[in-house]
Structure 1
Amino acid sequence: MSRVHDMGGRFGDGPVTPEPQGAPVFAEDWHARALAITLACGALGQWNIDTSRHARERLAPLDYTRFSYYEKWLAGLATLLVEKQVLSAKDLASATDGRDGTGADRAAPHPLAARALKAADVAAALAKGGPADRPSDVAVAFAPGDPVRCRRPGGNRLVAGGHTRLPTYAVGARGWIVRVHGTHVLPDSAAHGLGEAPEPLYAVAFAASDLWSAPEHPGDEVVLDLWQSYLEAV
Protein backbone atom coordinates (compact mmCIF):
# COMPACT_ATOMS: atom_id res chain seq x y z
CA MET A 1 0.00 0.00 0.00
CA SER A 2 1.44 3.37 -0.97
CA ARG A 3 1.59 6.46 1.21
CA VAL A 4 -0.35 9.65 0.57
CA HIS A 5 2.63 11.36 -1.09
CA ASP A 6 2.65 8.82 -3.94
CA MET A 7 0.05 10.71 -5.97
CA GLY A 8 1.60 10.85 -9.44
CA GLY A 9 -1.05 10.45 -12.13
CA ARG A 10 -3.79 9.96 -9.57
CA PHE A 11 -7.27 11.39 -10.09
CA GLY A 12 -8.87 13.72 -7.55
CA ASP A 13 -5.84 15.67 -6.29
CA GLY A 14 -6.46 18.71 -8.49
CA PRO A 15 -4.35 20.23 -11.25
CA VAL A 16 -0.67 21.05 -11.00
CA THR A 17 -0.48 24.84 -11.27
CA PRO A 18 2.95 26.11 -12.34
CA GLU A 19 4.19 29.34 -10.79
CA PRO A 20 4.01 32.32 -13.16
CA GLN A 21 7.16 33.28 -15.02
CA GLY A 22 9.21 35.78 -13.02
CA ALA A 23 7.74 34.70 -9.67
CA PRO A 24 10.12 35.18 -6.72
CA VAL A 25 12.19 32.17 -5.67
CA PHE A 26 10.57 32.30 -2.22
CA ALA A 27 6.96 33.44 -1.95
CA GLU A 28 7.40 34.19 1.77
CA ASP A 29 10.46 35.15 3.82
CA TRP A 30 10.02 32.14 6.06
CA HIS A 31 10.34 29.81 3.05
CA ALA A 32 13.98 30.84 2.69
CA ARG A 33 14.51 30.32 6.42
CA ALA A 34 12.93 26.86 6.20
CA LEU A 35 15.35 25.90 3.43
CA ALA A 36 18.30 27.34 5.35
CA ILE A 37 17.54 25.52 8.59
CA THR A 38 16.94 22.25 6.73
CA LEU A 39 20.35 22.51 5.02
CA ALA A 40 22.04 23.53 8.28
CA CYS A 41 20.57 20.57 10.15
CA GLY A 42 21.50 18.21 7.32
CA ALA A 43 25.11 19.36 7.66
CA LEU A 44 25.17 17.83 11.15
CA GLY A 45 25.56 14.46 9.42
CA GLN A 46 22.88 12.57 11.33
CA TRP A 47 20.84 11.53 8.28
CA ASN A 48 20.97 11.43 4.50
CA ILE A 49 18.68 12.73 1.77
CA ASP A 50 16.76 9.45 1.58
CA THR A 51 16.13 9.49 5.34
CA SER A 52 14.81 13.04 5.08
CA ARG A 53 12.52 12.17 2.18
CA HIS A 54 11.11 9.26 4.15
CA ALA A 55 10.47 11.54 7.13
CA ARG A 56 8.30 13.78 4.97
CA GLU A 57 6.51 10.80 3.43
CA ARG A 58 5.58 9.59 6.91
CA LEU A 59 3.61 12.69 7.81
CA ALA A 60 0.03 11.92 8.80
CA PRO A 61 -2.17 12.01 5.67
CA LEU A 62 -4.23 14.91 7.02
CA ASP A 63 -1.07 16.94 7.67
CA TYR A 64 0.50 16.01 4.34
CA THR A 65 -2.53 17.17 2.36
CA ARG A 66 -3.00 20.45 4.25
CA PHE A 67 0.64 21.48 4.69
CA SER A 68 2.35 23.66 2.12
CA TYR A 69 5.66 22.57 0.55
CA TYR A 70 7.92 24.12 3.17
CA GLU A 71 5.60 23.17 6.01
CA LYS A 72 6.20 19.57 4.97
CA TRP A 73 9.94 20.22 5.09
CA LEU A 74 9.77 21.65 8.62
CA ALA A 75 7.49 18.89 9.88
CA GLY A 76 9.81 16.22 8.49
CA LEU A 77 12.81 18.01 9.98
CA ALA A 78 11.20 18.12 13.41
CA THR A 79 10.61 14.37 13.19
CA LEU A 80 14.26 13.71 12.30
CA LEU A 81 15.67 15.97 15.01
CA VAL A 82 13.78 14.03 17.68
CA GLU A 83 14.25 10.55 16.19
CA LYS A 84 18.01 11.07 15.84
CA GLN A 85 18.16 12.57 19.36
CA VAL A 86 19.64 15.84 18.14
CA LEU A 87 16.91 17.66 20.06
CA SER A 88 14.09 16.55 22.33
CA ALA A 89 10.42 17.27 21.88
CA LYS A 90 10.80 19.68 24.81
CA ASP A 91 13.57 21.50 22.98
CA LEU A 92 11.31 21.97 19.98
CA ALA A 93 8.45 23.14 22.18
CA SER A 94 10.67 25.90 23.59
CA ALA A 95 10.99 28.95 21.36
CA THR A 96 14.00 30.27 23.28
CA ASP A 97 17.41 30.06 21.59
CA GLY A 98 20.18 28.25 23.43
CA ARG A 99 17.95 26.74 26.11
CA ASP A 100 16.69 23.26 26.78
CA GLY A 101 13.08 22.25 27.09
CA THR A 102 12.88 23.45 30.69
CA GLY A 103 13.97 26.97 29.79
CA ALA A 104 17.28 26.59 31.60
CA ASP A 105 20.56 27.56 29.92
CA ARG A 106 22.52 24.62 28.57
CA ALA A 107 25.43 23.82 30.86
CA ALA A 108 27.61 22.66 27.95
CA PRO A 109 27.73 23.06 24.16
CA HIS A 110 25.62 20.64 22.15
CA PRO A 111 27.60 17.49 21.21
CA LEU A 112 27.20 18.40 17.53
CA ALA A 113 28.20 22.06 17.95
CA ALA A 114 31.49 21.52 16.12
CA ARG A 115 29.59 20.39 13.01
CA ALA A 116 27.49 23.55 12.80
CA LEU A 117 27.42 24.99 9.28
CA LYS A 118 29.02 28.44 9.40
CA ALA A 119 27.84 31.24 7.11
CA ALA A 120 31.26 31.45 5.47
CA ASP A 121 31.05 27.78 4.48
CA VAL A 122 27.56 27.78 2.95
CA ALA A 123 28.58 28.55 -0.64
CA ALA A 124 31.19 25.78 -0.69
CA ALA A 125 28.76 23.30 0.88
CA LEU A 126 26.09 24.06 -1.73
CA ALA A 127 28.60 23.83 -4.57
CA LYS A 128 29.80 20.45 -3.31
CA GLY A 129 26.27 19.03 -3.26
CA GLY A 130 25.66 15.42 -2.30
CA PRO A 131 26.74 13.11 -5.13
CA ALA A 132 25.14 9.66 -4.90
CA ASP A 133 27.26 7.79 -7.46
CA ARG A 134 29.34 5.03 -5.89
CA PRO A 135 31.49 2.13 -7.08
CA SER A 136 29.70 -1.21 -7.02
CA ASP A 137 30.29 -4.87 -7.81
CA VAL A 138 26.71 -5.22 -9.10
CA ALA A 139 26.87 -5.94 -12.83
CA VAL A 140 24.91 -3.73 -15.22
CA ALA A 141 22.06 -5.87 -16.53
CA PHE A 142 20.54 -3.62 -19.20
CA ALA A 143 21.69 -1.45 -22.09
CA PRO A 144 20.04 1.45 -23.96
CA GLY A 145 17.16 0.17 -26.06
CA ASP A 146 16.45 -2.89 -23.88
CA PRO A 147 12.78 -3.45 -23.03
CA VAL A 148 12.10 -3.72 -19.29
CA ARG A 149 9.17 -3.94 -16.94
CA CYS A 150 8.85 -2.42 -13.48
CA ARG A 151 8.54 -5.17 -10.95
CA ARG A 152 5.25 -6.08 -9.35
CA PRO A 153 4.49 -5.67 -6.52
CA GLY A 154 6.23 -2.35 -5.93
CA GLY A 155 7.21 -0.91 -2.58
CA ASN A 156 10.35 -1.34 -0.51
CA ARG A 157 11.40 -4.99 -0.40
CA LEU A 158 13.81 -4.44 2.49
CA VAL A 159 11.55 -2.62 4.97
CA ALA A 160 7.77 -2.96 5.10
CA GLY A 161 6.27 0.43 4.34
CA GLY A 162 9.75 1.83 3.73
CA HIS A 163 11.04 4.45 1.33
CA THR A 164 11.28 3.71 -2.38
CA ARG A 165 11.71 5.73 -5.57
CA LEU A 166 9.52 3.43 -7.67
CA PRO A 167 6.22 5.33 -8.07
CA THR A 168 3.01 3.36 -7.82
CA TYR A 169 1.82 4.44 -11.28
CA ALA A 170 4.82 2.72 -12.89
CA VAL A 171 4.49 -0.62 -11.09
CA GLY A 172 4.08 -3.37 -13.69
CA ALA A 173 4.51 -0.93 -16.61
CA ARG A 174 6.67 -1.77 -19.61
CA GLY A 175 9.27 0.70 -20.89
CA TRP A 176 12.73 0.80 -22.42
CA ILE A 177 16.18 1.82 -21.26
CA VAL A 178 17.26 5.26 -22.46
CA ARG A 179 20.51 5.69 -20.53
CA VAL A 180 22.71 3.98 -17.96
CA HIS A 181 23.65 6.45 -15.23
CA GLY A 182 26.27 4.27 -13.55
CA THR A 183 25.90 2.88 -10.01
CA HIS A 184 24.22 4.94 -7.31
CA VAL A 185 23.14 4.64 -3.68
CA LEU A 186 19.92 2.61 -3.38
CA PRO A 187 17.35 4.80 -1.55
CA ASP A 188 15.39 1.80 -0.29
CA SER A 189 18.42 0.77 1.79
CA ALA A 190 20.03 4.11 2.63
CA ALA A 191 16.83 5.65 4.00
CA HIS A 192 16.74 3.04 6.77
CA GLY A 193 20.38 2.86 7.85
CA LEU A 194 20.95 -0.44 6.04
CA GLY A 195 23.94 0.77 4.05
CA GLU A 196 24.27 2.44 0.68
CA ALA A 197 23.93 -0.79 -1.35
CA PRO A 198 24.79 0.94 -4.66
CA GLU A 199 23.46 -0.60 -7.85
CA PRO A 200 22.98 0.44 -11.51
CA LEU A 201 20.59 3.33 -12.14
CA TYR A 202 18.80 3.79 -15.46
CA ALA A 203 16.75 6.39 -17.27
CA VAL A 204 13.68 4.43 -18.39
CA ALA A 205 11.11 5.77 -20.86
CA PHE A 206 7.42 4.84 -20.82
CA ALA A 207 4.63 5.70 -23.22
CA ALA A 208 1.96 7.69 -21.39
CA SER A 209 -0.62 5.24 -22.74
CA ASP A 210 1.20 2.40 -20.93
CA LEU A 211 1.03 4.23 -17.60
CA TRP A 212 -2.53 5.54 -17.57
CA SER A 213 -5.79 4.38 -19.08
CA ALA A 214 -6.83 7.87 -20.19
CA PRO A 215 -3.73 10.07 -20.64
CA GLU A 216 -4.35 13.62 -21.81
CA HIS A 217 -1.64 13.23 -24.45
CA PRO A 218 -1.26 9.52 -25.34
CA GLY A 219 1.82 10.18 -27.48
CA ASP A 220 3.80 11.65 -24.58
CA GLU A 221 6.71 9.82 -23.01
CA VAL A 222 7.59 9.79 -19.32
CA VAL A 223 11.22 9.18 -18.33
CA LEU A 224 11.95 7.89 -14.82
CA ASP A 225 15.28 7.24 -13.13
CA LEU A 226 14.95 3.71 -11.73
CA TRP A 227 17.32 1.37 -9.94
CA GLN A 228 18.12 -2.07 -11.31
CA SER A 229 16.29 -3.93 -8.55
CA TYR A 230 13.09 -2.14 -9.59
CA LEU A 231 13.27 -3.66 -13.08
CA GLU A 232 12.98 -7.00 -14.80
CA ALA A 233 13.76 -8.09 -18.36
CA VAL A 234 10.86 -8.47 -20.79
Structure 2
Amino acid sequence: MHGFGPILRDEHEALFPEHWECRAFALLIAVIASGALSMDEARDGVERMDPLLYLRTIHAGESYYWRWLCATEILLERKGIVTAAERHNSRPGAGNVPAGLALSCLKAEDVPERVARRGSARLGMGAPAQFSVGDRVQARNLHPEGHTRLPRYVRGRTGRIERDHGVFSFPDTSAAGLGPKPQHLYLVRFEAAELWGGEPGPGAVLVDLWDDYLEPSDERDT
Protein backbone atom coordinates (compact mmCIF):
# COMPACT_ATOMS: atom_id res chain seq x y z
CA MET A 1 0.00 0.00 0.00
CA HIS A 2 0.99 3.63 -0.29
CA GLY A 3 -0.15 6.83 1.37
CA PHE A 4 1.59 6.44 4.73
CA GLY A 5 4.00 9.31 4.10
CA PRO A 6 7.79 9.31 3.96
CA ILE A 7 9.98 6.89 5.89
CA LEU A 8 11.91 9.02 8.37
CA ARG A 9 15.39 7.70 9.12
CA ASP A 10 17.56 8.81 12.02
CA GLU A 11 21.20 8.02 11.28
CA HIS A 12 22.04 8.25 14.98
CA GLU A 13 19.26 6.00 16.23
CA ALA A 14 20.33 2.84 18.02
CA LEU A 15 19.74 -0.45 16.20
CA PHE A 16 17.43 -1.51 19.04
CA PRO A 17 16.41 1.61 21.02
CA GLU A 18 14.71 -0.60 23.63
CA HIS A 19 16.19 -3.84 24.97
CA TRP A 20 12.93 -5.77 24.50
CA GLU A 21 13.11 -5.09 20.73
CA CYS A 22 16.19 -7.25 20.25
CA ARG A 23 14.49 -10.01 22.24
CA ALA A 24 11.40 -9.77 20.01
CA PHE A 25 13.63 -9.94 16.92
CA ALA A 26 15.52 -12.94 18.31
CA LEU A 27 12.28 -14.73 19.19
CA LEU A 28 10.92 -14.53 15.66
CA ILE A 29 14.24 -15.61 14.10
CA ALA A 30 14.44 -18.57 16.49
CA VAL A 31 10.87 -19.62 15.66
CA ILE A 32 11.63 -19.47 11.92
CA ALA A 33 14.88 -21.41 12.43
CA SER A 34 12.92 -24.07 14.32
CA GLY A 35 10.89 -24.82 11.20
CA ALA A 36 7.61 -23.82 12.86
CA LEU A 37 6.92 -21.19 10.21
CA SER A 38 8.38 -19.42 7.19
CA MET A 39 9.29 -15.77 6.73
CA ASP A 40 6.27 -15.38 4.46
CA GLU A 41 4.05 -16.69 7.24
CA ALA A 42 5.66 -14.16 9.59
CA ARG A 43 4.79 -11.32 7.22
CA ASP A 44 1.26 -12.70 6.93
CA GLY A 45 1.01 -12.69 10.71
CA VAL A 46 1.77 -8.96 10.83
CA GLU A 47 -0.83 -8.30 8.16
CA ARG A 48 -3.47 -10.26 10.08
CA MET A 49 -3.30 -7.97 13.09
CA ASP A 50 -6.51 -6.11 13.79
CA PRO A 51 -6.47 -3.33 11.12
CA LEU A 52 -7.39 -0.55 13.54
CA LEU A 53 -4.70 -1.66 15.99
CA TYR A 54 -2.14 -1.91 13.17
CA LEU A 55 -2.87 1.59 11.86
CA ARG A 56 -3.08 3.07 15.35
CA THR A 57 0.37 1.74 16.25
CA ILE A 58 1.85 3.20 13.07
CA HIS A 59 0.44 6.65 13.68
CA ALA A 60 1.40 6.47 17.36
CA GLY A 61 4.99 5.74 16.41
CA GLU A 62 5.03 2.28 18.02
CA SER A 63 8.09 0.14 17.39
CA TYR A 64 8.29 -1.98 14.27
CA TYR A 65 9.27 -4.88 16.51
CA TRP A 66 6.03 -4.57 18.49
CA ARG A 67 4.21 -5.72 15.35
CA TRP A 68 6.72 -8.57 14.94
CA LEU A 69 6.00 -9.68 18.49
CA CYS A 70 2.24 -9.61 17.85
CA ALA A 71 2.72 -11.62 14.66
CA THR A 72 4.81 -14.24 16.46
CA GLU A 73 2.09 -14.67 19.08
CA ILE A 74 -0.63 -14.95 16.43
CA LEU A 75 1.31 -17.57 14.48
CA LEU A 76 2.34 -19.67 17.48
CA GLU A 77 -1.29 -19.82 18.55
CA ARG A 78 -2.40 -20.68 14.99
CA LYS A 79 0.15 -23.52 14.91
CA GLY A 80 -1.08 -24.85 18.25
CA ILE A 81 2.28 -24.32 19.93
CA VAL A 82 0.80 -21.91 22.49
CA THR A 83 -2.79 -21.44 23.58
CA ALA A 84 -4.81 -18.24 23.63
CA ALA A 85 -4.53 -18.25 27.44
CA GLU A 86 -0.74 -18.51 27.27
CA ARG A 87 -0.60 -15.55 24.87
CA HIS A 88 -2.14 -13.31 27.53
CA ASN A 89 -0.34 -14.78 30.53
CA SER A 90 3.26 -14.06 31.43
CA ARG A 91 3.61 -17.58 32.82
CA PRO A 92 4.76 -20.03 30.13
CA GLY A 93 2.86 -23.24 29.66
CA ALA A 94 4.20 -26.73 29.14
CA GLY A 95 5.33 -25.88 25.64
CA ASN A 96 3.62 -28.83 23.99
CA VAL A 97 4.42 -29.20 20.30
CA PRO A 98 1.53 -30.53 18.16
CA ALA A 99 1.93 -34.06 16.86
CA GLY A 100 3.46 -34.16 13.40
CA LEU A 101 5.28 -30.84 13.79
CA ALA A 102 8.99 -31.63 14.12
CA LEU A 103 10.95 -28.64 15.36
CA SER A 104 14.67 -28.01 15.71
CA CYS A 105 16.24 -25.81 18.35
CA LEU A 106 18.46 -22.83 17.51
CA LYS A 107 21.13 -22.88 20.22
CA ALA A 108 22.81 -19.70 21.41
CA GLU A 109 26.24 -20.87 20.27
CA ASP A 110 24.91 -21.47 16.74
CA VAL A 111 23.52 -17.94 16.28
CA PRO A 112 26.73 -16.19 15.02
CA GLU A 113 27.28 -18.81 12.32
CA ARG A 114 23.61 -18.78 11.31
CA VAL A 115 23.51 -14.98 11.04
CA ALA A 116 26.82 -14.81 9.15
CA ARG A 117 25.75 -17.50 6.68
CA ARG A 118 23.49 -15.14 4.72
CA GLY A 119 22.20 -17.95 2.53
CA SER A 120 20.24 -17.19 -0.60
CA ALA A 121 16.49 -17.77 -0.66
CA ARG A 122 16.83 -18.91 -4.30
CA LEU A 123 15.60 -22.48 -4.76
CA GLY A 124 17.78 -25.19 -6.22
CA MET A 125 14.93 -26.70 -8.24
CA GLY A 126 13.99 -25.81 -11.79
CA ALA A 127 10.77 -24.25 -13.05
CA PRO A 128 9.95 -23.01 -16.55
CA ALA A 129 10.20 -19.25 -17.03
CA GLN A 130 7.02 -17.69 -18.38
CA PHE A 131 8.78 -14.51 -19.52
CA SER A 132 12.15 -13.30 -20.80
CA VAL A 133 14.19 -10.15 -20.28
CA GLY A 134 12.75 -7.38 -22.46
CA ASP A 135 9.18 -8.74 -22.49
CA ARG A 136 6.38 -6.27 -21.88
CA VAL A 137 4.09 -7.58 -19.15
CA GLN A 138 1.04 -6.46 -17.23
CA ALA A 139 0.65 -6.95 -13.50
CA ARG A 140 -2.55 -8.90 -12.89
CA ASN A 141 -5.39 -7.06 -11.18
CA LEU A 142 -5.62 -9.51 -8.29
CA HIS A 143 -7.19 -9.00 -4.87
CA PRO A 144 -5.97 -11.89 -2.69
CA GLU A 145 -7.27 -12.14 0.87
CA GLY A 146 -3.98 -13.30 2.37
CA HIS A 147 -0.36 -12.23 2.11
CA THR A 148 0.91 -11.06 -1.28
CA ARG A 149 3.96 -9.21 -2.60
CA LEU A 150 1.99 -7.65 -5.46
CA PRO A 151 1.67 -3.90 -4.68
CA ARG A 152 -1.74 -2.40 -5.31
CA TYR A 153 -0.31 0.51 -7.29
CA VAL A 154 1.12 -1.77 -10.03
CA ARG A 155 -1.98 -3.94 -10.52
CA GLY A 156 -3.26 -3.55 -14.05
CA ARG A 157 -0.18 -1.54 -15.06
CA THR A 158 2.25 -2.37 -17.84
CA GLY A 159 6.00 -2.73 -17.40
CA ARG A 160 9.04 -4.43 -18.84
CA ILE A 161 11.12 -7.36 -17.57
CA GLU A 162 14.57 -6.05 -16.63
CA ARG A 163 16.05 -9.16 -15.00
CA ASP A 164 15.25 -12.78 -14.20
CA HIS A 165 16.39 -13.46 -10.62
CA GLY A 166 15.85 -17.23 -10.85
CA VAL A 167 13.44 -19.56 -9.05
CA PHE A 168 12.00 -18.71 -5.62
CA SER A 169 9.08 -19.80 -3.44
CA PHE A 170 5.80 -18.09 -4.25
CA PRO A 171 5.02 -15.94 -1.18
CA ASP A 172 1.23 -16.19 -1.43
CA THR A 173 1.16 -19.99 -1.06
CA SER A 174 4.14 -20.10 1.31
CA ALA A 175 2.42 -17.67 3.69
CA ALA A 176 -0.73 -19.79 3.69
CA GLY A 177 1.18 -23.00 4.46
CA LEU A 178 0.36 -24.42 1.01
CA GLY A 179 3.92 -25.10 -0.08
CA PRO A 180 6.56 -23.20 -2.07
CA LYS A 181 4.99 -23.37 -5.56
CA PRO A 182 8.42 -22.55 -7.09
CA GLN A 183 8.47 -20.08 -9.98
CA HIS A 184 10.60 -17.37 -11.54
CA LEU A 185 11.00 -13.97 -9.91
CA TYR A 186 11.58 -10.96 -12.17
CA LEU A 187 12.67 -7.38 -11.76
CA VAL A 188 10.00 -5.37 -13.58
CA ARG A 189 10.36 -1.70 -14.53
CA PHE A 190 7.25 0.50 -14.45
CA GLU A 191 7.58 4.02 -15.82
CA ALA A 192 6.41 6.72 -13.42
CA ALA A 193 3.85 8.07 -15.91
CA GLU A 194 2.34 4.58 -16.23
CA LEU A 195 1.81 4.35 -12.49
CA TRP A 196 0.94 7.90 -11.51
CA GLY A 197 -0.22 9.52 -14.75
CA GLY A 198 1.07 12.72 -16.30
CA GLU A 199 3.43 13.30 -19.19
CA PRO A 200 6.08 10.65 -19.96
CA GLY A 201 9.42 11.60 -18.51
CA PRO A 202 12.29 10.38 -16.35
CA GLY A 203 11.58 8.23 -13.34
CA ALA A 204 10.53 4.64 -12.83
CA VAL A 205 9.73 2.11 -10.12
CA LEU A 206 11.44 -1.30 -10.10
CA VAL A 207 9.43 -4.10 -8.49
CA ASP A 208 10.24 -7.80 -7.96
CA LEU A 209 7.28 -9.85 -9.21
CA TRP A 210 6.63 -13.58 -9.57
CA ASP A 211 5.24 -15.42 -12.62
CA ASP A 212 1.76 -15.73 -11.12
CA TYR A 213 1.53 -11.95 -10.73
CA LEU A 214 2.14 -11.29 -14.41
CA GLU A 215 0.52 -11.77 -17.82
CA PRO A 216 1.68 -10.83 -21.32
CA SER A 217 0.91 -7.26 -22.33
CA ASP A 218 -0.78 -6.55 -25.66
CA GLU A 219 0.56 -2.98 -25.63
CA ARG A 220 3.13 -2.20 -28.30
CA ASP A 221 6.17 0.03 -27.99
CA THR A 222 5.69 3.51 -29.41
**TM superposition score normalised by structure 2:** 0.84
Contact 1:183 1:200 (C-alpha < 8 Å) held by counterparts: yes
Q: Distance in 2 between matches of 1:198 and 1:165?
A: 15
The answer for the alignment partner of 2:214 in structure 1 is 231
Q: Distance in 1 between matches of 2:85 and 2:118?
A: 32
SS for the counterpart of 1:211 is: helix
What residue ranges of structure 1 are gaps of 5+ in the alignment?
Answer: 1-6, 101-105
Q: Distance in 1 between matches of 2:33 and 2:133?
A: 37
SS for the counterpart of 2:34 is: coil
Among the aligned pairs, what percent are the same residue? 36
Q: Distance in 1 between matches of 2:71 and 2:21?
A: 15
Contact 2:36 2:103 (C-alpha < 8 Å) held by counterparts: no
What residue ranges of structure 2 are gaps of 5+ in the alignment?
Answer: 218-222
1:186-216 superposed Cα distances (whole Å, 9 cap, x missing partner): 111111121111011100011122112479x
SS for the counterpart of 1:94 is: coil
Letter in 2 for 1:65: L
The answer for the alignment partner of 1:73 in structure 2 is 68
- Structure 1 pair 130–65 and aligned structure 2 pair: CA distance change class (3 A): farther
**TM superposition score normalised by structure 1:** 0.80
How much does 1:64 deviate? Answer: 0.8
Letter in 1 for 2:171: P
Q: Distance in 1 between matches of 2:84 and 2:114?
A: 29
The answer for the alignment partner of 1:3 in structure 2 is none
- Structure 1 pair 214–35 and aligned structure 2 pair: CA distance change class (3 A): farther
The answer for the alignment partner of 2:32 in structure 1 is 42
Q: Distance in 1 between matches of 2:166 and 2:53?
A: 37
How much does 1:87 deviate? Answer: 1.0
Structural RMSD (CA): 2.4
How many residue pairs end up in the alignment? 209
Q: Distance in 1 between matches of 2:208 and 2:138?
A: 13
The answer for the alignment partner of 2:90 in structure 1 is 95
- Structure 1 pair 231–130 and aligned structure 2 pair: CA distance change class (3 A): same
How much does 1:110 deviate? Answer: 4.5
- Structure 1 pair 187–17 and aligned structure 2 pair: CA distance change class (3 A): closer
